[in-house]
Structures are given as C-alpha cells and as structure tokens.
Amino acid sequence: MLIISGPGKSGTSYLYQLLRLIKQFDCGVIKEPSYFSLYYHKGFNWYEHLYTQKNAIKTDCSNSYFADQAAPYRINQDLNNPKIISIYRDPRDRLISHLIYLKRSGYKIDLFSNLGIEIALNNHNVLMRTLNYSENAKRWAELFGSNFRIIKIDDLNKKPKEIIKDICLLNNINLKDMINYINFDDVDRNESEDSLSPILSTLGRKTFNMMRRYNMHRIIQKIKDTGIKKVFLKKANSSDKSKIILPNWIEEKINKEREIILLSLKQKDNLFEYHG
C-alpha cells in the first residue's frame, strides 16, 4: 500500500495524477478517501472496495492524514508494511496557497489584513496543524522508519520522471524502459486558481459535502475527473500573493520551522530521508 499523506497545497494532486499513468498503481475510485482520518467509522471493508485492480499497489492520496493525530497509528495498525510519502513545500508558500484555496472555496477570508488572517487561522485549525511540518513528520518517521519518505516540491516539479522512478523502486516496481514512453508533460500541475464566482464556489463546496454524507464519493470523483471546475476558475494573479502580509508571530513561527526542516534535509537524517 502506498499512502501520499499530504499535506494539502504541496503538490499531492500533481503526484497523484503522475501515479495514475503507471498501471502498477491502483489509485482507487476516490483520490482522497480520508478513511484513516475522517471515515474510519465506515469500516475497512468500505475502504477495500475503493480499489478494484488485482496485483496493483493500492494508492491512497489523502491530505487529511498528515496532520491528523490518529491517522498514522491507524495506518500502522491496519496495513501491512505501507510506504508513506509526504511532500515538503516552503511553509510560507504552502500556508498562503491554502488560504487562497479556502477563499476560492467560498469561505469569507480577508487575505490582505492581519486581522483577516488571524480570523482565518482561528476558524480553520487545519492551517496551524499543517504548519507544524517538522512535528508531524517526526510522528510519521518514528512509526514507519525508512518507509516514510519526503519529497521536496522543487524536485517533483523539476524532475517528475526521476521521482516516479524512486517511488516505484520503493514499492519494488521495476519499470525498466517503460517509463521513457510515458508522457508526463501533459499532467495538470493544479496551479493556483481563483474562483470566477464565490457564490458558485460556496454552492459547489456545500453540495460536495452533502454528497459525502450520503456516501457519494465515487460520483464526486467522476465529476472532478471531467475537469469541470476549470470552467469556473481563472488563473490566480501572482501579484495578489505578494500583497498578503502574515502576522509577525506567524512569520516568526514559519522562520523557525523552516530552519528545522532545511537543516534536517541538509543532513539527510532519518527524519527527513527523501528521494530526489
């Protein structure tokens, strides 16, 4: 089993789409089952039925796992020798991207005032939980050892073919020369986008949430696979990101977190062992 644990807004969707090109990976009927975090009460039988390919590596790309307190322990308990992938993106870039994503999804967030950011951080605790990357990564590393790997987002963006080769080797898959015939260039990188209509974004989010409550996950995934959301989105204005000013205490926390992570990556210790 391969788990792409997140966190969100760090390139996990791009990695998921790359893995879908490799037939040895069964990416399931849902990109983000979130079974070990949000839907554990549904039972393991529900989870198993999301994967239909025989003799393929089941692949779960659920961003909610990374900062969830229970998910890594449930995975360790229920799965046999799973491989875990996390992606590291600069914490400031990732936080801003997440804030923009929440606003695009219809939440009322003032991105251009300290008070607006403070309110968002208070209302969406996932923002702070995922900001503690080193703390979360340590928990995964202690449980899974060398089966837990970190990929830097820059490596993923610049050399996706090499990253996929490494993931295949981690899962005992030898693609030989087959990978040279796979076109990775057309894969959607899921770049930051803005909503053309906040009302439609809010309606879409609430509709999908209602469908999830009625176990309509497969239908949701099929709708997403059509690419219909592109109709309602426009490419984000990069200049808007530069206008976002985070509160001083958040900037200080980010700088400390960045120092811990970059030092660990430089040393290539057991906590931040990675391919790339």
- Say yes or no to pLDDT of 1 above 90: yes
Residue 164 placed within a domain: yes
65 domain residue, yes or no = yes
Domain membership flag for residue 275:
no
**What pLDDT does 247 receive?**
94
- pLDDT at site 196: 53
Q: Render 24-42 in DSSP notation, one character per residue.
A: TEE--S-S---TTTT-GGG
Q: Which domain holds residue 162?
A: 2-91+130-191+254-267
Report, as an integer, the average pLDDT of 83-101: 94
In a domain, 151, yes or no: yes
What is the percent of the chain where pLDDT is above 70?
85
pLDDT range class, residue 262, cuts 50, 70, 90: confident
Q: What is the pLDDT of residue 272?
A: 40
Q: How many domains does the chain have?
A: 1
- Identity of the residue numbered 32: E
Q: Does residue 195 register a pLDDT over 60?
A: no
71 lies in some domain: yes
Is the pLDDT at 116 greater than 90? The verdict is yes
Residue 271 pLDDT: 41
pLDDT tens, position by position, 133-153: 999 999 999 999 989 999 999
pLDDT band, very low/low/confident/very high, at 274 (cuts 50, 70, 90): very low
pLDDT at 218 over 70: yes
Tell me the backbone φ, ψ of residue 32, rounded to 5 degrees.
-120, 85
99 within a domain of the structure (yes/no) = no
The C-alpha atoms of residue 133 and residue 271 are separated, in whole angstroms, by 11
Task: Read off the CATH number of the domain in which 258 is found.
Answer: 3.40.50.300
The answer to the question of residue 213 being in a domain is no
Decide if 118 is inside a domain: no
Q: Rounded mean pLDDT of 247-254?
A: 95
